[in-house]
A and B are shown apart, each in its own frame.
Chain A
């Protein structure tokens, strides 16, 4: 494996997203949403202004869980199939580069762009809020940013995988939307449905493990606080046992969600 080939591809992908202002646009979206939630999130209760980091993060989580998977899937779905359909893939593959180096370079470049926008967008808000936050709250906010990055990278990995499998861009975009629906909207409903139908008899024990099968749920669990009045904001994730809710363990699961789709993509892309 030649590192320079990977960085050349990754560098091009990253700078492409900087130059076409994709990074700027996404960072701005994150900043605007985070600021609005932090200052106007409690307007419904008749108050305006920053309340607490727990409420802010809980609201941000429920927003980010929709937004980041969608952005990541849209960013990555045409990584390979797009080059193939435009006709630029043959030329790339005729270079002294392996298919794995090309795939990894693509992923890392796109992941870099997404990570950069996430950290820039939420980081800016973090700096604005920092005057009102103690060290503990800042730590939680940092954890939220880090888990957002992991969430993005996991869905980007899924996007790149389907970009290898899909035969054309149209199908790839359809699959990307389907994946988003499944993981973000349908998965929890399905799990809840099974629980309710069986009266909690079936699946209750296995539930926490089933939730690890969805990176969006892992993200939610990573951001749970012990604060009781906030827990209700996290829905299904609150049934998660504390013993399993170790950040490092959940981080590892996220790493698995990044590595596994990429590995399948690499296997498939070999030929």
Chain B
């Protein structure tokens, strides 16, 4: 997915670079030696259980908490440096914190006005930003009256102010319904085509795995693996499963054929047989099953899920 993105080919230089980054809270090593290269224009996922160190890494990238050791560079500028570069970097960045909290007494539009002023951008665009996240109808209502999903969308709108080149989104789809999640990723894809670099954390793997260009799996303060979903699957060399649908009368015949093939576990179910097989035997198994003309009614392949990859790495 990553390599076919025109924006990425155009702006594939390293936008966020972490080298040997550590964060220790006393004896707790929340982040314990992270190296990461996130390219310009990339939609990058940071996956891990709660407490894996994602949010801490995020906060260090934003300069919200000091780095114990190592270095993080955003678009070439080291994070944590004071002076003019601090503001210049911040103006390129949009941030949506986990469980964003906004001001209940302000309206949606006033909220954006406030943050636009802090970011030093004209509030003239604010209505357009609200339109983008689907909140125009509630622009003049107090945040107090917003649902959780609407607050999340307003938080996202705030992150989009000033056309940032980098977006940090911490569990951004919390509280969104499936429809809103689809809309949210549609916006992210659009931003990606505009060359915006997005880093997104999640612990909902199913949601993120088909939507990011690359991802990093974090566990125990370390990045356990980085790559595309396909690349990670391949590297883990996890076996895949065939679901072979057969007529009950033919069960034994099919089982006999499978017995001569390089397959792993074979599980008989009501109307199908589940067959585990190593990746390199995939084509041989398909060919053998295809030869059982008439006996095999249907055949489907189950790839290992990111969950399998994830648990493979983080255990």
Residues of A within 8 A of B (CB): 2, 4-5, 8-9, 12, 16, 19-20, 86-88, 90-98, 271
B97 to A95, Cβ gap below 8 A? Answer: no
B120 to A96, Cβ gap below 8 A? Answer: yes
B119 to chain A, nearest CB (A): 6
Known contacts A96-B87, A96-B118; A91 and B66 CB within 8 A of each other: no
Contact among B90, B102, B105, B155 with A95 in the assembled complex (CB-CB below 8 Å): B90
A96 to B119, Cβ gap below 8 A? Answer: yes
B105 to A4, Cβ gap below 8 A? Answer: no
Residues of B within 8 A of A98 (CB): 86
Contact with A along B96-111 (1 / 0, CB 8 A): 0101111101000000
Bound-complex Cα distance A98 to B84 (A):
11
Known contacts A8-B114, A94-B93, A95-B119; A88 and B62 CB within 8 A of each other: no
Bound-complex Cα distance A86 to B119 (A):
22
Bound-complex Cα distance A16 to B95 (A):
24
A93 to B117, Cβ gap below 8 A? Answer: no
B100 to A91, Cβ gap below 8 A? Answer: yes
B105 to A97, Cβ gap below 8 A? Answer: no
B102 to A88, Cβ gap below 8 A? Answer: yes
A95 to B115, Cβ gap below 8 A? Answer: yes
Bound-complex Cα distance A92 to B62 (A):
12
A15 to chain B, nearest CB (A): 9
Asked if B91 CB lies within 8 Å of chain A CBs, one says yes
Residues of B within 8 A of A96 (CB): 86-87, 90-91, 118-120
Contact among A4, A88, A91, A97 with B95 in the assembled complex (CB-CB below 8 Å): A91
Contact among A8, A16, A88, A90 with B118 in the assembled complex (CB-CB below 8 Å): A8
Residues of B within 8 A of A8 (CB): 114, 117-118
A86 to B118, Cβ gap below 8 A? Answer: no
B97 to A19, Cβ gap below 8 A? Answer: no
Asked if B236 CB lies within 8 Å of chain A CBs, one says no
Residues of B within 8 A of A19 (CB): 105
Residues of A within 8 A of B49 (CB): none
What is the size, in residues, of chain B's interface with A at 8 Å between Cβ atoms? 25
B97 to A91, Cβ gap below 8 A? Answer: yes
B101 to A12, Cβ gap below 8 A? Answer: no
- Which B residues, 94 to 152, have Cβ-Cβ distances below 8 Å to chain A? 95, 97, 99-103, 105, 114-115, 117-120
Bound-complex Cα distance A97 to B117 (A):
11
Interface of A is mostly: helix
Bound-complex Cα distance A97 to B89 (A):
11
- Most A Cβ at <10 Å: residue of B59, B93, B115, B118: B118
B277 to chain A, nearest CB (A): 48
A-B contact pairs, 9 of them (CB 8 A): A8-B118, A12-B114, A16-B103, A87-B100, A88-B101, A88-B103, A91-B97, A91-B100, A92-B118
A57 to chain B, nearest CB (A): 37
Bound-complex Cα distance A91 to B170 (A):
12
Asked if B64 CB lies within 8 Å of chain A CBs, one says yes
For B90, the closest partner residue in chain A by CB is: A96
Bound-complex Cα distance A12 to B118 (A):
11
Bound-complex Cα distance A271 to B64 (A):
9
Residues of A within 8 A of B100 (CB): 87, 91
Residues of B within 8 A of A90 (CB): 59, 64, 97
A3 to chain B, nearest CB (A): 12
For B65, the closest partner residue in chain A by CB is: A271
B97 to A87, Cβ gap below 8 A? Answer: yes
B208 to chain A, nearest CB (A): 22
B118 to A87, Cβ gap below 8 A? Answer: no
Bound-complex Cα distance A19 to B118 (A):
21
Contact among B90, B105, B119 with A20 in the assembled complex (CB-CB below 8 Å): B105
A87 to B101, Cβ gap below 8 A? Answer: yes
Bound-complex Cα distance A145 to B283 (A):
90
A94 to B62, Cβ gap below 8 A? Answer: yes
B101 to A86, Cβ gap below 8 A? Answer: yes
A94 to B95, Cβ gap below 8 A? Answer: yes
A91 to B105, Cβ gap below 8 A? Answer: no
A12 to chain B, nearest CB (A): 6
Contact among A5, A95, A271 with B66 in the assembled complex (CB-CB below 8 Å): A271
For A95, the closest partner residue in chain B by CB is: B118
Residues of A within 8 A of B99 (CB): 87
Bound-complex Cα distance A70 to B202 (A):
45
Contact with A along B55-66 (1 / 0, CB 8 A): 000010010101
For B62, the closest partner residue in chain A by CB is: A94
Residues of A within 8 A of B64 (CB): 90, 93-94
Bound-complex Cα distance A92 to B91 (A):
13
Beyond A2-B87, A94-B93, A96-B87, 10 extra complex contacts between A and B, CB < 8 Å: A16-B103, A86-B101, A87-B99, A88-B102, A90-B59, A90-B97, A91-B95, A91-B100, A91-B101, A95-B115
